Structure 1
């Protein structure tokens, strides 16, 4: 009996080009190469909608799978990489670089096939069958001829487990999004829209209402409300607030990288952590397990030295704006700016400040080959700040528990991802026997 192949389960529907002028207009989300993570999985940052006409054959709903049969990198990380449209994307549209999997039968084992296409054995198959030098390609026939092992009971157990892990990671992602949103909303109300002062100026006297219902404890609300002025000055800011440069508030450090040809650069695991080269991985809030290390001699050549735990790391060259809060002392390379918290200003404030001022950060970038913001251009960026710095400390007191839970969720998701990645190679071989989940334990 001939073994099954991918082509037994589905056909391929290639996408088409789009007009860049219609990007950002209401419509489906574009599902191009940028929406696929390295080696597979959906990548949800920097998505754009498309307002142009769409052939129904090029549209995807949540749960549908698409693939890249090309790659512009030599590592082939995207060649043959698959992604599944998540539940929070109501409708997606293929581009000329992506291909939809059109299943031939409704009862096809879609979840099994999706995870099979995430295994390292499949990824190696794609690399081995790549064509081209600068732009890599994977022939449709080669993709469809990948052999599919039979779906045994053991493999089904592994599929169920990795899917449960993925569901928990997604739950953590949504929870972290909510936690960050709460922190950002408070920051914008206090430091951007000056909500408490506006409510005072409008005649509100109830402290709970002045603080926008942040706390229902009248005594606590009164203490917070007392830190906000009753009126605005001629500059449009609360009275006694002043334009302040971020470089005057905290130390903003730029990084550097020793020559990769020197033995002083990357070192064994017992040495210091260093920021990764891949800036796109900086969408995770807890930079605590980067594989890159640097030796004492290498660290001596980095101008910023070792930044402490809690430093906010900003990717400073294209793509600008990825953020992380360091969970270990870390050395940063030239693609980052590090903001070091102090006794007055904490990590949560600095993180939210970067988010709220991202338009200014990007506007101060320059460069002909790629956009980059230097520490020289970053440090003078200003925002309105209260003369009484206790307000920043109070924000930190409110936001720190939110960020602590957020970071804990990010750490848990990374641990879960490691477990998932341990199991995936066994999906092909069936070498690991997994105990089936009992009813009510999922």
Structure 2
């Protein structure tokens, strides 16, 4: 097949509204700008929530549909996300909205082609700018694609890679469902309510805040940066390693809470369960570490960080200059909780441990599936392996 440009294979090619959409918390519609597109997935903590009127203005040229693509043109250049289901998404600032012409190219193959290493390298090489690299709208529209395989091959490649992403999505739904169930049970406990008639506890009665780690950490250690701390999900799915120096220390069963603006307001918190055996992890100095005194209750602090009452308290108690405000660990330790019977707390703990095992298995499987997908993608796009070879690998993986 002849060489085609991105513009050639799109039935619709629309640039974004080139200004920042006004936010309306609780509006139920979302503008996906480039900060929300890193890693080719949508980060809900970075989208801008819109009301219906703003959504209509921002989508007057074209309302994104499930499977459409958004391409980041600046800060950073290159990430591509597929629009999820639901007519609630708008193209944010510095993005271009693409809808593939399904008569010319398989829409899902188009997505995998655009995120393939060879295309990403070429997109970055076209970026320009003395201070901030960017692509002009014409650069995206006129970008020449690699020679496309025939439609049958496109369909087969999209199906093979899509099977991996579909399984990852199924695992994410399982994890999200488990988290929602535990959130409901946590709310029913009544632990996080104002005990105006007493008796009451404080966080420090049930949990240690920034506990000391007696064992010295040396050499390379698992490292969790602020970008690795989840926005909405419970468990950590990405981390790195680095030399153990300054920073928070944590072990499996700890809960990490971002203490600095805007990360705290964005809900960054996570439950640690990815370390090996007695490993000690290190993290950002902007983390508060919360450890249950009873291991059965290890997940309770995570759901506490997600409660509206605690979040309001934490945001009110942040101190410092504008843009660099922080929550003090001492304020977290003194936060008041209602007293709950041990039997009810233990039942919640037992349920959480059971569900967390399933979540941990699903997260580990998804990490393996993503690794397989990322290895197969460039090989399939370059023709170094056949679809049949890839199908054999995928059948073993899923």
Asked if these proteins are the same fold (TM beyond 0.5), I'd say: yes
User: Equivalents in 2 of 1:418, 1:14: separation in Å?
Assistant: 32
The correspondence for 1:247, drawn from 201, 204, 215, is: 204
1:66–1:99 CA contact under 8 A, matched in 2: yes
1:344–1:27 distance in 2 versus 1, CA, 3 Å: closer
The correspondence for 1:349, drawn from 296, 300, 323, is: 300
Aligned positions, number: 373
User: SS at 2:77's partner residue?
Assistant: coil
Alpha-carbon deviations, 1:311-343, whole Å to 9, x = none?
111222231232222221312220211112222
The correspondence for 2:268, drawn from 316, 322, 330, is: 322
The correspondence for 1:66, drawn from 45, 63, 70, is: 70
Pairing 1:309–2:252 present: yes
1:131–1:138 CA contact under 8 A, matched in 2: yes
Alpha-carbon deviations, 1:162-189, whole Å to 9, x = none?
1111111111111211111110101101
The correspondence for 1:98, drawn from 95, 100, 121, is: 95
User: Equivalents in 1 of 2:165, 2:44: separation in Å?
Assistant: 15
User: Equivalents in 2 of 1:120, 1:362: separation in Å?
Assistant: 41
TM-fit CA distance, 1:95: 2.9
User: Equivalents in 1 of 2:4, 2:21: separation in Å?
Assistant: 40
Pairing 1:174–2:173 present: yes
User: SS at 1:180's partner residue?
Assistant: helix
Q: Which runs of 5+ in 1 are unaligned?
A: 72-77, 195-231, 256-264
TM-fit CA distance, 1:15: 1.9
- Structure 2 matches for 1:17-36, cutoff 5 A? 23-24=24-25, 26=27, 28-36=29-37
TM-fit CA distance, 1:20: 5.6
Greater Cα radius of gyration, structure 1 or 2: 1
TM value normalised by structure 2: 0.82
1:341–1:361 distance in 2 versus 1, CA, 3 Å: same
1:80–1:50 distance in 2 versus 1, CA, 3 Å: farther
- Structure 2 matches for 1:192-341, cutoff 5 A? 235=196, 241-242=199-200, 244-253=201-210, 267=219, 271-279=220-228, 281=230, 283-287=232-236, 290-295=239-244, 298=245, 301-302=246-247, 306-317=249-260, 318-320=262-264, 321-327=267-273, 328=275, 329-341=280-292
TM-fit CA distance, 1:416: 1.1
- Which 4+ stretches in 1 moved above 6 angstroms? none
User: Equivalents in 1 of 2:97, 2:286: separation in Å?
Assistant: 35
Q: Which runs of 5+ in 2 are unaligned?
A: none
User: Equivalents in 1 of 2:242, 2:87: separation in Å?
Assistant: 41
- Comparing 345-354 with 414-423, greater Cα deviation is found at 345-354
User: Equivalents in 2 of 1:70, 1:280: separation in Å?
Assistant: 24
- Structure 2 matches for 1:56-135, cutoff 5 A? 56-71=60-75, 78-87=76-85, 89-104=86-101, 106-135=103-132
TM-fit CA distance, 1:138: 0.9
Cα RMSD of the aligned pairs, angstroms, is 3.3
User: Equivalents in 2 of 1:382, 1:46: separation in Å?
Assistant: 31
1:135–1:376 distance in 2 versus 1, CA, 3 Å: farther
User: SS at 1:137's partner residue?
Assistant: coil
User: Equivalents in 1 of 2:44, 2:34: separation in Å?
Assistant: 11
Pairing 1:150–2:148 present: yes
1:158–1:102 distance in 2 versus 1, CA, 3 Å: closer
